[in-house]
Amino acid sequence: MSRVISFFSIGFQEDHFFDKDDEGRAKFGMNVIDQIIAIIGQKKILPIFSGMVQEMMGCSDWRFRFVGLMSLSQIGEHVTDVNDVAPIIELAIKFLNDNHPKIRYAACHLIGQIADDLQPSFQIKFHSQVLPALLNKYSEEVPRVLSHVLAATLNFVNGLPKDLLKGYIETILNATLPLVQKGISIVRENAVATFSAVAEAAEELYQPYFERSVPIIYEIMKTSDQPMYRKLRGLCIECITLMCESVGKDYFKKYANEIIELMIQIQKYDVVFDTKDPLIAYLCSGWQRICTVLDDEFVPYLQSVIPPLFKLVEHVLKHPSIPLEQDEEEISLSSMVEEKENIKKKKNTVDLEEVEVAMNMVFFFITKLKKSYIDFVEVTVKVVEIAIQFNYCEKVRTLAATCMPALIAVVKESTHPKKQELKISLSHAFIEALWKAVSTENDPEHMSLQLGFMGDILFACENFMTKDQVDKFSELILKSLKKSDLRKNENEKYKEEEGCDEEQVLERALESDKEDDLQFALARLIGLLFTTHKELALPLVSIISNEVIIKALQPGLSDKVHKCGLVIIGGMVQGLDIELIPNEWPKFAEYLLTYATDQTCSVRRTALQGIGTLSIKNKAAFSKLAESCAAKVLAALKLPKRNENIKEYLQTREICTLILGRIIRYSESKPNIEVLIAEWLTLLPIQVVSSEAIQQHELLADLILEGNGNVVFGQDGKRLPMVLKIFAIISETKFINEETTKKMRRILHSLKETKETKVMLETAVKPLEDFLKLKLDRIIENVLS
Amino acid sequence: MEKICSVKDVKNEEIKLLAVQVIMSMMERIPKIFKDNLDLCKRFMEMTFFIMIETTENATMEWNCPKEGNNQFRLCLELYPFSR
């Protein structure tokens, strides 16, 4: 969990445009300037802006210089070349020593903002000018300004590369240490935060300073128990846990018990439930860091940490009182009046980010601790069930949904005596909660996410529903598909209405695109229903075939819609015997073959996956299709890469390779065997779809050992060099198992047995690179020994 | 709008801010008007700077040295003041 998030989590709300104080006004103005630059474009507006600021900087009235500096802080975001800010930084450093505290404050603000906007290039270019200038100001007399000097330092350190930070650690810590211990809280808090920034950025380089700084921060954490120091205390928790994370377990162990005990005490006795308490978010993030460092050694503390911690999470979820769901970034200036009211309310409530931090922590614990988490499943389910209904923020609902399959995985891995029953009851409860959540969700994007997690639950729990439950589940899917279709039709109608401008058309098109994603999520669910519940889902075949598959696989529809049809067929192939769907299968097979050569990689990949599944699940049906498959696969391999990412493209090619291997191995007719083997060997070894690699490589060894050596090696052993290269590449990797390694040894051994094949072997080895020759030698040596 | 913003004795200062907001809203919706007339942009920026300068107050004792425990929200702003 990054420190930045935890800052946000405490309620960093800078855009309070209408604040009565002058700083609020300055921020309002700065936001306006920012918007103007963004809308008009930096090329046109920056020259005008610079001229005006220059004029202001020359005024005798300090207020003009203050506004000039504050406005300049907005331009970092719009600058592309870091060299362009050189004159601005010179100006800022000069004004760090101005007589007026507000000018010094604005100069710090300017440095801090640009450090944040242009990191790390700004830090790399200006560290030798900026850091000494800031450190010189640590003797600043006005606490407000000093606090801003520290804030600017921490922003600068945040983007400073580790190798450059190395030379400053000692100096920054020596200058900051006294400020941590004395002065008013506004200064101490930023001093602690600067410590955190250094510790986080320095990573293992912080080790020499760890022993010196931990006791100081620990002491503040222990003694700052008055309400006004909650923030300081929270920052100490953050600082000490960040230090521990940076230095690692060996260094941390010495202090682990004391720190953990103190955090438990704070969590138990000092967190205040009836007001917004910043400690909650700091504790949530802190525990995650400790868990990351200690790993299994954190397990003994869980009983003391988790139950009270989850009470806090429950409290945060139950008492959010947050009236808005809008992302800060999305707040438009045009809605400033409403924002003003919302933000005012926000100040007196628990922050939304705090809830997110809490839910992130829940998910972190589940996935990190795995089976060690089993004792806390019950308490977590309670929290997750509240979170899935959290109306104020879709991110929280999504995080809750993410936790559900993860909890089932915990149960699956555990040694709980009733784990099967527990797994089933959890799956039912989660599926019900997710359907409820989907039905109240407005945004198809979030519906898709939640349906995705529902699919993960189906996949994780496999066959857990009765016939009636499967029917009900299918009904809900079909209902959702129909609703989505209706919304899509509405979008299309709206687009054709008179007076609909370009922007609205685009908006509707995006909405329809989201509906396509939603329908794909629903199609995946149908596919998984067949995969997991097999014959129980059989009555669904004819409905789905007529209502969904045939409609979705018409030519001319979008790629996403095509994938919907294909993923369902894939699910049927996985879960059902083809013989059970004799009427539908010929049509489905035709669809798979047609789309196996689709121009869009993701579509042909989905189709090829269906064929690949068939080759494993039903060899007889696959064998019948082998000839057409071979032609399609060879054609698919010829398709060039388009917009898709390289990994997706390579994976698709590897799926083709897997299918070719199976055609060669299992097809009765062995169509064009010579061509297929030659192609197959050029594509091997499998190195992207690692789950299939072992099986495919074993298949190659088996083919040779079963008397097909001549076919595989080709006339005069022309393909032997290729085979040897494949053996050498996969040897000693995760792409091969012990069994296949033994088979490779046997093959090499038999090649050495006769004079003729020995010569062939030696000739084939020659062109190989040295490291590959060595790998082959190791296999052969083992044979000889 | 410029007139509203330049009047010094407007009691409710928010009227000035609303004037800026109205122009900002126009710029967001019909940027072309401003893109084609940079003088208009300049005047708008001047107006904004004017409000910022006019409302900037001197550093008070409370600003220089906020009371302990009286800075719960303000601190959130200060601690990570530069992130957008």
How many alpha carbons lie under 13 Å from residue A29 in its C-beta half-sphere? Answer: 29
Q: Report the amino acid identity of residue A241.
A: T
* Mean pLDDT of all residues in A282-309: 90
Tell me which residue of A297, A352, A355 sits closest to A323, measured CA to CA.
A352
Domain membership flag for residue A97: no
Omega before residue B66 within 30° of 0, cis = no
Please report residues of B whose CB lies closer than 8 A to that of A45.
Answer: 38, 41
Count, in order, helices (H) and strands (E) of chain A: 38, 0
Q: Which of A595, A636, A629 is nearest to A612 (CA)?
A: A629
Mean pLDDT rounded to a whole number for chain A: 86
Does residue A242 sit within a domain? Answer: yes
Cα separation, A746 vs A730, whole angstroms: 16
Give the DSSP H/E element, type plus range, for residue A387: helix A377-387
pLDDT at residue A272 is higher than 80: no
The residues near A601 (Cβ < 8 Å, ≥ 6 apart) are: A639, A641, A642, A644, A648, A649, A652
- What single DSSP character describes residue A640? P
Same domain, A316 and A375: yes
**A618-to-A96, A535, A610, A698 alpha-carbon distances in Å:** 76, 16, 12, 19
pLDDT digits (tens, 9 = 90+) for A401-444: 999 999 999 999 999 899 899 999 999 999 999 999 999 888 89
The pLDDT, as a whole number, for residue B8 is: 62
Name the DSSP letter for residue A14.
Answer: -
Report whether pLDDT(A454) > 90: yes
d(Cα A720, Cα A652) in Å, to the nearest integer? 26
The last residue of a domain, from among A401, A416, A444 = A444
Q: What is the predicted pLDDT for the residue at A462?
A: 82
Residues A767, A768, A769: CA angle, nearest 5 degrees? 120
Is there a cis peptide before residue A120, judged by omega within 30 degrees of 0? yes
Last residue of a domain, one of A222, A252, A282: A252
Q: CA triplet B57, B61, B64: central angle to 5 degrees?
A: 80
Q: Which residue of B has its CA nearest to A334?
A: B25
Task: Using CB atoms within 10 Å of the CB of residue A691, give its burial: 0 to 12 exposed, 13 to 18 middle, 19+ buried.
Answer: exposed
Give the Cα separation of A771 and A776 in Å (integer): 9
- The reply to whether residue B69 touches residue A226, judged by beta carbons under 8 angstroms, is yes
Write the pLDDT tens digit of every residue in B36-52. 899 999 999 998 988 88
- A646 and A662 in contact (C-beta within 8 Å)? no
Residue B83 has pLDDT above 50, yes or no: no
Residue of A nearest to B55 (CA): A22
Do residue A390 and residue A292 come from a single domain?
A: yes
pLDDT at position A338 is: 43
Q: For residues A611 and A631, is the Cβ–Cβ distance under 8 A?
A: no
Q: Which of A345, A280, A70 is nearest to B81 (CA)?
A: A70
pLDDT of residue A610: 92
Least confident among A169-183, A352-366, A601-615: A352-366
Report d(CA A569, CA B65) in Å as an integer.
70
Coil/strand/helix, residue A272: coil
| C-alpha distance from B1 to closest chain A C-alpha (Å) | 15
Q: Give yes or no for residue A326 having a pLDDT over 70.
A: no
Q: Look at residue A274 in the predicted model and tell me its pLDDT.
A: 58
Contacts of A489 (CB under 8 A, 6+ apart): none
Give the C-alpha separation, A717 to A712, whole Å. 9
* Contact of A147 with A187, CB cutoff 8 Å: yes
- Number of Cβ pairs closer than 8 Å across A and B? 182
* Of the candidate ranges A169-183, A358-372, A400-414, B70-84, the one whose mean pLDDT is the lowest: B70-84
Point out the residue among A13, A48, A184 whose CB comes nearest to the CB of B42: A48
Say yes or no: A316 and A421 in one domain. Answer: yes
> Is B35 in Cβ contact with A40 (below 8 Å)?
yes
The answer to whether residue A127 scores a pLDDT higher than 60 is yes
Nearest CA in chain B to A154: B80
CA A604 remoteness from chain centre: 26
- In this predicted model, which residue has the larger pLDDT, A324 or A254? A254
Only one residue has tokens 């499943």, namely A377
Task: Report the residue of A42, A146, A334 to disrupt the B interface, i.e. the one with the largest count of B CBs within 10 Å.
Answer: A334
Residue A657 located in a structural domain:
no
- Asked if A593 and A628 count as a contact pair (C-beta separation under 8 A), the reply is yes
Q: Which residues from chain B sit within 8 angstroms of residue A118, using beta carbons?
A: none
In a domain, A436, yes or no: yes
Task: List the single range of A274-283, A381-390, A613-622 with lowest mean pLDDT.
Answer: A274-283
Instruction: Classify residue A418 by its DSSP letter.
Output: T
Whether residue B24 and residue A333 make contact (CB cut-off 8 A), yes or no, is yes
Cβ neighbours for A254, distance < 8 A, ≥ 6 positions apart: none
**In whole angstroms, what is the distance from residue A313 CA to residue A431 CA?**
23
**How close A333 gets to chain B, by Cα (Å)?**
7
Q: Is residue A601 part of a domain?
A: no
CA terminus-to-terminus distance, chain A: 52
Task: For chain B, give the percent of residues with pLDDT over 70.
Answer: 65
Residue at a domain's end among A404, A426, A444: A444
Within this chain, do residues A291 and A175 fall inside the same structural domain, yes or no? Answer: no
The whole domain housing A206 covers: 164-252
Task: State how far residue A292 is from chain B, nearest Cα, in angstroms.
Answer: 25
Predicted confidence band of residue A24 (pLDDT cuts 50, 70, 90): low
For the cut 50, the answer to whether the pLDDT of residue A96 exceeds it is: yes
Distance from CA of B42 to the nearest CA of A (A): 7
**Chain B residues with CB-CB distance to A8 below 8 A:** 80, 83
Q: Cβ–Cβ of A142/B64 closer than 8 Å?
A: yes
Q: Where are the alpha helices (DSSP H) in A62-118?
A: 62-72, 86-95, 101-117
CB contact under 8 A, A77 and B35: no
Q: A54 pLDDT exceeds 70?
A: yes
pLDDT at A463 > cutoff 60 = yes
Distance between CA atoms of residues A69 and A339, nearest Å: 26
* Average pLDDT for A681-693: 86
Q: Are A220 and A365 found together in one domain?
A: no
pLDDT level of residue A234 (50, 70, 90 thresholds): very high
Does B82 sit within 8 Å of A116, measured CB to CB? yes
Task: Judge whether residue A21 has pLDDT over 80.
Answer: no
How many Cβ atoms are within 10 Å of A227's Cβ, its own excluded? 11
Test A116 with B44 for CB contact under 8 angstroms. no
B55 min Cα distance to partner chain A (Å): 6
> In this structure, is residue A396 part of a structural domain?
yes
Sequence letter at residue B74 = R
pTM over 0.80: no
One domain, residues A187 and A317: no
pLDDT digits (tens, 9 = 90+) for A503-522: 778 888 888 889 999 999 99
Tell whether the torsion through CA atoms of A55, A61, A67 and A73 is positive or negative.
positive
Interface of B with A in 11-40 (CB under 8 A): 14, 17-18, 20-21, 24-25, 27-28, 31, 34-35, 38
- Rounded Cα distance, B44 and A27, in Å: 16
Rounded percentage of chain A residues whose pLDDT exceeds 90: 51
Establish if A140 belongs to a structural domain.
Answer: no
A319, A434: one domain: yes
Please write the tens of the pLDDT for every residue from A190-212: 999 999 999 999 999 999 999 99
With tokens 């696959």, the residue in question is A622
- Asked if B34 and A336 come within 8 Å (Cβ–Cβ), the reply is no
CB contact under 8 A, B79 and A12: yes
Q: Of the candidates B24, B25, B52, which has its C-beta nearest A26's C-beta?
A: B52
The residue to which tokens 């088996």 are assigned: A702
pLDDT at residue B79 greater than cutoff 70: no
Q: Is a pLDDT exceeding 60 seen at residue A20?
A: no
Q: Are residues A305 and A246 in the same domain?
A: no
Find chain A residues with C-beta within 8 A of B38's C-beta.
40, 44-45, 48
Stronger pLDDT, A325 or B19, i.e. the higher one: B19
DSSP A443: -
Report the pLDDT averaged over residues A231-245: 94
* Whether B72 contacts chain A with CB within 8 A: yes
pLDDT greater than 50 at residue A575: yes
Same structural domain for residues A342 and A427? yes
Judge whether A423 and A408 are in contact, CB under 8 Å: yes
Per-residue pLDDT band at A556 (split at 50, 70, 90): confident
Asked if A349 and A322 touch (Cβ cutoff 8 Å), the reply is yes
Tell me if chain A has a CB within 8 Å of the CB of B6: no
Cα–Cα distance, A514 to A766 (Å, whole number): 56
pLDDT over 60 (residue B72): no
CB contact under 8 A, A337 and B27: no
Does ipTM exceed 0.95?
Answer: no
The total domain count for chain A is 3
- A104-131 average pLDDT score: 94
Determine, for residues A12 and B35 on separate chains, whether the beta-carbon distance falls below 8 Å.
no
The pLDDT score that the predictor gives to residue A275 is: 59
Is residue A480 assigned to a domain?
A: no
* Selected residue of A25, A231, A347 to mutate for chain B interface (largest B Cβ count, 10 A): A25
Q: Does one domain contain both A237 and A373? A: no
Q: In angstroms, how far is CA A703 from the centroid of its own chain?
A: 41
Q: How confident is the model at residue A80 (pLDDT cuts 50, 70, 90)?
A: confident
Asked if residue A156 lies in contact with residue A115, where contact means CB atoms within 8 angstroms, the answer is: yes
Is the per-residue pLDDT at A579 higher than 90?
A: no
Burial readout A594-623 (b: 16 or more C-beta within 10 A, e: otherwise): bbbbbebbbbbbbbbbbbbbbbeebbebbb
Distance CA(A360)–CA(A283), nearest Å, equals 12
List pLDDT tens digits, range A513-549: 899 999 999 999 999 998 899 888 888 898 889 888 9
For the stretch A630-682, pLDDT in tens is 999 999 999 998 888 898 899 999 999 999 998 888 777 666 888 899 999 99
Contact A660, A671 (CB under 8 A): no
Q: Are A414 and A297 within one domain?
A: yes
* A432 and A340 within one domain: yes
Residue A465's identity, in one-letter code, is: M
